[in-house]
Every structure is written in structure tokens, then in C-alpha cells.
């Protein structure tokens, strides 16, 4: 390092504005680079690489979740710029960087393409390394989600969760609809749009686990003199075939007959019994399928019914990006 190199305050400020590094770090980098601006950036980047190597095993479990929609409202991206501490994650400059990166991310379809994209005079991946050196914490893109649809909207919950939702068309008041559904995605953690997206092995595994948990709980309830919970046969519409429904209806009719209910009123009672059967045997759908969940703003209706209230429109897909 040549300490005789004269570095002006303007040069230091320019490097600081470009990198976010502290004034002394910028001055040292410029001195080491002999006043060459690009070389000074490289000096800071190498410092970042050293810090990144030391902190490679750290978890970037904090950070900022951001969502951006393009001008045509047909594409959206949600990313999480991860860091190590909540203190850094709430820093205004850090959040501003996350938003700047998200704007760029709109132009790419995968995390890999995005990391290789140009960000100023370096790639996004290199910028993260540079900022790791500046901030002193491991920075990473811990989530990258992209969605395309005839109309796309988003909701971000205090920079912790970012949700994207696609609609089949931009109906009247689509802005309200898409925001409400995105809030649902952010708060209720659906993993699938409908039961049709479930893997058969996943449903089988969940069925076994849920039934075992209820049966175990019922042993304790019985010991305490409490009424046991109903043990379902199924947990998803994926399992309820026409044959299953037919059998359930036959069982319901047998119950009505045993109760001495006149056959002429069965038609008024059966729909409610079948609805209860489906409700009792689709708990997985109600938890994990967006359209089957109770709507957070009115738990008397499902998300599907809420969407239907807007007319001829459907949810085409959704994505969720969150910290941790």
C-alpha cells in the first residue's frame, strides 16, 4: 500500500456511494489501488470474499422479503435478501438494496440467471460478496420466486413474507381480490392450489401420521373422561372417489333409517350429512390447499367461494418467499 497517494474526499465519497462501504475502508481501498476507482472496487470485493469465506457456515436466516410487479402487471418476482441478524435486516440501506435487486430480478426467470446478471460493474453474486465485506455478515439470496399470469398482484408482510398471486383475467376490483388472496398466502402458508397438486405418497404419509396422532390423543382423552375426537378415514379429496362418496351416502341413509327418520325427508337431511363427511375427511386440503382454506377475512366461506364472488376469474398460481 502506498500511503503517499493523495486521495480526495470526492473520490472517497464516490466509492462510498457506489459500494456502501465505510469512509475509512473506501480511503484504504483507493490508496491500495493507487487511486484507481475500478481497482478500489476490486480491493473491497476481495475483502468481501475473505469475510464470506470465514462466514460461509453461517445461516442467513434474517433479511428482507421483497416483491415487485412489472409495468404490465403480468409478471411478478419475490426475493429474500438474507443476512445474519435482524439488526442488519431492518437497516434502511439494506432494505433499499433488497428492493433494487428485486427490480432487477424481474428480468430473470431463475435464481441462477439472476445471480449471474450484471449489477453495476459486477454481477449480482459479486455484489453480495462485496456487501458481505462491507456489512460483515453473510448475505445471500435465500428465496427467488417468479410468477406469470394475465394479471399478477403481491402482498408483503413487514418485509418478512412476500406473496405473489396470478389471476386468469383482470376483472373489476382485481386489485382488491389479488391483494386479499396474497395476504391469505402470506398468513396461512398454503403449499398447493388444490388437492390435485398433491403427490399420492405425500397424501398417504400424511393420512397415516394424522390418524395415528388422533388415536394417540383419544387414548389420553378417554383416560380423562373426555369425548374422543372423530378418527377420519381420509384427509383429502384426492382420496374421495365416487365409490367412497356412494358408500358414505349409503351409510348416511342407514343412519337415518336406524334413527327412524321418514324416508320422504331424507333428501333434506342427506346434503348436510354429505357435506359434513367431506369436511371431516379433507383436513389436509383445508390446511394446505389455498382454495379450500377458510378465507381469513370471513371464515364462513372458503377462498374458492371468495374468488367466485368476483365473477369469471380463477387463481392461476401463487408463490411465497419468507425469511428463515
* pLDDT at residue 123 in the model: 92
The residues near 191 (Cβ < 8 Å, ≥ 6 apart) are: 288
- Asked if residue 2 has pLDDT above 60, the reply is no
Q: What is the mean pLDDT of residues 106-123?
A: 93
Query: DSSP letters of 96-109?
Result: HHHHHHHHHHTT-S
* pLDDT at residue 4 in the model: 62
Task: Indicate if 62-188 has the same CATH topology as 9-54.
Answer: no
Report how far residue 292's alpha carbon sits from residue 190's, in angstroms, rounded to the nearest whole number.
Answer: 10
9-54: what fold? Helicase, Ruva Protein; domain 3 (1.10.8)
Which comes out higher in pLDDT, residue 277 or 12?
A: 277
* pLDDT at residue 240 in the model: 93
% of the chain beyond a pLDDT of 70:
94
- Which residue, chain included where needed, has cell 386440503? 285
Q: How confident is the model at residue 55 (pLDDT cuts 50, 70, 90)?
A: low
DSSP three-state, residue 135: helix
Which comes out higher in pLDDT, residue 52 or 34?
A: 34
Report how far residue 272's alpha carbon sits from residue 251's, in angstroms, rounded to the nearest whole number.
Answer: 14
**62-188: CATH class:** alpha beta
| Cα distances (Å, whole numbers) of residue 237 to 189, 201, 240, 245, 301 | 19, 14, 5, 10, 18
Report how far residue 87's alpha carbon sits from residue 10's, in angstroms, rounded to the nearest whole number.
Answer: 30
Range of lowest pLDDT (42-46, 86-90, 201-205, 270-274): 42-46
The residues near 12 (Cβ < 8 Å, ≥ 6 apart) are: 23, 26, 27, 30
* pLDDT at residue 48 in the model: 67
* pLDDT at residue 243 in the model: 95
Domain boundaries, the chain: 9-54, 62-188, 196-310
Residue spans of alpha helices (H) in the chain = 9-19, 23-32, 37-54, 86-89, 92-105, 111-115, 124-135, 174-188, 200-223, 242-258, 266-280, 283-288, 303-308
* pLDDT at residue 37 in the model: 82
Most confident by average pLDDT, 131-135, 150-154, 210-214, 222-226:
150-154
* pLDDT at residue 1 in the model: 45
Report how far residue 277's alpha carbon sits from residue 270's, in angstroms, rounded to the nearest whole number.
Answer: 10
Q: What is the mean pLDDT of residues 9-36?
A: 77
Report how far residue 46's alpha carbon sits from residue 133's, in angstroms, rounded to the nearest whole number.
Answer: 8
Report how far residue 164's alpha carbon sits from residue 182's, in angstroms, rounded to the nearest whole number.
Answer: 6
Amino acid at each position: 500500500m502506498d500511503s503517499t497517494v493523495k486521495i480526495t474526499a470526492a473520490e472517497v465519497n464516490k466509492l462510498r456511494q457506489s459500494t456502501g462501504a465505510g469512509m475509512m475502508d473506501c480511503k484504504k481501498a483507493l490508496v491500495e489501488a493507487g487511486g484507481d476507482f475500478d481497482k478500489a472496487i476490486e480491493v473491497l470485493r476481495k475483502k468481501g470474499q475473505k469475510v464470506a469465506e470465514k462466514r460461509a457456515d453461517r445461516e442467513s436466516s434474517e433479511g428482507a422479503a421483497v416483491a415487485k410487479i412489472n409495468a404490465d402487471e403480468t409478471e411478478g418476482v419475490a426475493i429474500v435478501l438474507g443476512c445474519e441478524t435482524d439488526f442488519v435486516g431492518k437497516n434502511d440501506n439494506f432494505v433499499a438494496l433488497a428492493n433494487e435487486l428485486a427490480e432487477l430480478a424481474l428480468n430473470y426467470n431463475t435464481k441462477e440467471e439472476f445471480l449471474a446478471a450484471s449489477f453495476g460493474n459486477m454481477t449480482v453474486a459479486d455484489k453480495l460478496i462485496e456487501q458481505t465485506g462491507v456489512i460483515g455478515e453473510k448475505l445471500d439470496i435465500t428465496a427467488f420466486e417468479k410468477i406469470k399470469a394475465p394479471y399478477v398482484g403481491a402482498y408483503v408482510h413487514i418485509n418478512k413474507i412476500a406473496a405473489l398471486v396470478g389471476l386468469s383475467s383482470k376483472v373489476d376490483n382485481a386489485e382488491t381480490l389479488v391483494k386479499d388472496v396474497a395476504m391469505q398466502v402470506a398468513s396461512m402458508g398454503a403449499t398447493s392450489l388444490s388437492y390435485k397438486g398433491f403427490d399420492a405418497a405425500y397424501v398417504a404419509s400424511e393420512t397415516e401420521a394424522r390418524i395415528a396422532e388422533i388415536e394417540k390423543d383419544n387414548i389420553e382423552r378417554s383416560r380423562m373422561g373426555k369425548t374422543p375426537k372423530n378418527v377420519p378415514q381420509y384427509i383429502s379429496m384426492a382420496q374421495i372417489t365416487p365409490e367412497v362418496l356412494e358408500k358414505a351416502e349409503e351409510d348416511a341413509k342407514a343412519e337415518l333409517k336406524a334413527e327412524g327418520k321418514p324416508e320422504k325427508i331424507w333428501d333434506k337431511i342427506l346434503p348436510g350429512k354429505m357435506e359434513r363427511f367431506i369436511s371431516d375427511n379433507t383436513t389436509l386440503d383445508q390446511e394446505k390447499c389455498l382454495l379450500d382454506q377458510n378465507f381469513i377475512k370471513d371464515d364462513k366461506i372458503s377462498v374458492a367461494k371468495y374468488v367466485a364472488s368476483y365473477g369469471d376469474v380463477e387463481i392461476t398460481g401463487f408463490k411465497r418467499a419468507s425469511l428463515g
